[in-house]
Amino acid sequence: MSTALIWFRRDLRVADNPALSAALDAHDRVIPVYVHAPDEEAPWSPGAASRWWLHHSLTSLDRRIRDLGSILQVARGPTLPALRRMIRRFDASALYWNRLYEPAIVARDTGIKQRLIDEGIDARGFKANVLFEPWEIQTGQDQPYRVFTPFWRKARSQLQVRPPLSKPEGLAKPEGDSVQTIDDLELLPRIRWDSRFHDEWTPGEPGATEAFEDFIESGLRDYASDRDRPDRAGTSRLSPHLHFGEISPMQIAWALEERVHQSGDSARSAGADSFLREIGWREFSQHLLFHFPDMPERNLNPRFDAFRWDDEDPASIRRWQRGRSGIPIIDAGMRELWTTGSMHNRVRMLVASFLTKNLRQHWHHGQRWFWNTLVDADLANNAQGWQWTAGCGVDASPYFRIFNPVSQGEKFDPRGDYVRRWVAELAAVPAPLIHHPWSDPGISERTGYPAPMIDLAASRTLALAAYKDLPKSDAD
């Protein structure tokens, strides 16, 4: 009997799983395994919110696998010894997995593959979690793209959607149970700060499928206009499901093409195009991280190595983290993040701009906080997003573009519903004042909501002055 291991990582689904399908096609018995080795991802081991999601996603995956007749084999790392033990235990001749692209994981997986091949094991990786491998989209000079628009134009022209792979009809049950359990991994917090997470999210493949179906049916028509409105349920909320591989980009692209574009509904088709472009941003982030592996640590634009960040101010950073800045839409976003493990994308840009430009604190502080508190914390997306807003990335918002949180709030949260939801002190403040309550000094006295920690206009002037001190680029 030919046996293969299918090594689950961040592809926690049984449908449209290329490694699983290939293993089932080639072998009589396929054993699903998961190895927990966060230290091997250092310095970017999963943060607290990500660990919460991982626990529940693994639990969901285990239920799916048990429904198919098997059991998820769980082990602690180091990864190579753990895989070798399971290869010996099940007398496996092959190991299959779906590729990931973070630098530490690429290095680890490359070493594991070579060692196992040297030992006579058929070790294979597959494309499953992206539409394009990071090396598949290149410029005419065979160089990586550094600007999103031409990257996506080329990627979109080359995209060939395929039907999703079916889930298996069944899996052979291995002898004995898993040596370790998901609970043994101790992923959940000991202090239960996650109570609201359960109200907001359903981790796992069924939850991802349900969220996508809801979005397809009710969210696409107005997506292009509503996606920037934090006061509306206008986004897909698929980001953590995508990060953990509970749904694949190809499943999404196929559904958008076959169920939306073929329907002839022009409004929904426009929403589908807009949403697929957001998937493209995710692809672009993976592309950048693969080609510029120091992106989480270093400015992609080296001019910013000389930028005059303000002296590190732990007290100011802490006020930003706690949602006590005195700027309503900033505080709403930071409290939403702490409470739910997520934040509306438009507001993510606002809070990042406030930290890096108004407070002039290094983008690393924000990147680390998001890494620990976001359920969808993704190394490529997180680093790319912070560099984009800070102005130091390869395809960045210009540093001199400084979001005004008051005018942004008035534009995208015009009645103040988003602020009132997350900043309880301001629940009774009327719309004309909700985004600048300091205009009426009595509001602070009545509610206890803090005065702004910084003068927005003055801090903008200082940020622009620091920007002007940067050395000129060759293009200047």
Q: What pLDDT is attached to residue 6?
A: 98
Query: Which residue among 386, 388, 410, 422 is the active-site one?
Result: 386
Query: Which residue among 53, 97, 320, 363 is the active-site one?
Result: 363
Q: What is the pLDDT of residues 308-356, one digit of tens each?
A: 999 999 999 999 999 999 999 999 999 999 999 999 999 999 999 999 9
Query: Which residue among 193, 254, 281, 438 is the active-site one?
Result: 281
Q: For residues 9 and 114, give the distance between their C-alpha atoms in angstroms, rounded to a whole number.
A: 19
Q: What is the pLDDT of residues 293-309, one digit of tens each?
A: 999 999 999 999 999 99
Residues β-bridged to residue 97: 7, 125
In the residue annotation, 278 being an active-site residue is answered as yes
Instruction: Please enumerate in sequence order all residues whose Cβ is within 8 A of that of 392, keeping only pairs 6 or more positions apart, or say none.
Output: 299, 300, 301, 303, 304, 307, 363, 399
Q: What pLDDT is attached to residue 260?
A: 84
Burial grade of 103 (CB within 10 A; 0-12, 13-18, 19 or more): middle
Q: What pLDDT is attached to residue 264?
A: 76
Q: Closest Cα to residue 203, out of 323, 106, 59?
A: 59
Q: How far is CA 57 from CA 48, 206, 210, 235, 244, in A?
A: 14, 10, 14, 21, 8
| Residue 377, phi-psi category: left (phi > 0), alpha (psi -120 to 50), beta (remainder) | beta
Q: What is the pLDDT of residues 230-289, one digit of tens each?
A: 999 999 999 999 999 999 999 999 999 998 877 778 888 999 999 999 999 999 999 999
Do residues 295 and 329 lie in contact, with contact meaning Cβ atoms separated by under 8 Å? no
In the residue annotation, 281 being an active-site residue is answered as yes
Residues β-bridged to residue 32: 6
- The one-letter amino acid at 28: D
Query: Which residue among 345, 404, 425, 438 is the active-site one?
Result: 345
Query: Which residue among 133, 254, 257, 309 is the active-site one?
Result: 309
Biggest alpha carbon distance in the chain? 78
Task: For tokens 């206008």, name the residue.
Answer: 234
DSSP β-ladder status, 29-36 and 3-8: parallel
Q: Closest Cα to residue 453, out of 337, 343, 322, 309?
A: 322
Q: What pLDDT is attached to residue 469?
A: 84
Q: What pLDDT is attached to residue 475?
A: 47
In the residue annotation, 345 being an active-site residue is answered as yes
Do residues 254 and 164 lie in contact, with contact meaning Cβ atoms separated by under 8 Å? yes
- The one-letter amino acid at 110: T
Q: Which domains does the chain possess?
A: 3-128 (3.40.50.620), 130-163+204-291 (1.25.40.80), 302-468 (1.10.579.10)
Q: List phi, psi (to 5°) of 310.
A: -70, 160
Q: Closest Cα to residue 126, out of 97, 89, 155?
A: 97
Q: List phi, psi (to 5°) of 124.
A: -140, 140
Q: What is the 3-state secondary structure (H, E, C) of the chain?
A: CCEEEEEECCCCCCCCCHHHHHHHHHCCEEEEEEEECHHHHCCCCCCHHHHHHHHHHHHHHHHHHHHCCCCCEEEECCHHHHHHHHHHHCCCCEEEEECCCCHHHHHHHHHHHHHHHHCCCEEEEECCCCCCCCCCCCCCCCCCCCCHHHHHHHHHHHCCCCCCCCCCCCCCCCCCCCCECCHHHCCCCCCCCCCCHHHHCCCCHHHHHHHHHHHHHHCCCCHHHHCCCCCCCCCCCCHHHHHCCCCCHHHHHHHHHHHHHHHCCHHHHHHHHHHHHHHHHHHHHHHHHHHCCCCCCCCCCHHHHHCCCCCCCHHHHHHHHHCCCCCHHHHHHHHHHHHHCCCCHHHHHHHHHHHHHHCCCCHHHHHHHHHHHCCCCCHHHHHHHHHHHHCCCCCCCCCCCCCCHHHHHHHHCCCCHHHHHHCHHHCCCCHHHCCCHHHCHHHHHHHCCCCCCCCHHHHHHHHHHHHHCCCCCCCC
pLDDT beneath 50: ranges in the chain: 475-476
Query: Which residue among 41, 133, 257, 278 is the active-site one?
Result: 278
Do residues 49 and 375 lie in contact, with contact meaning Cβ atoms separated by under 8 Å? yes
Q: What pLDDT is attached to residue 473?
A: 65
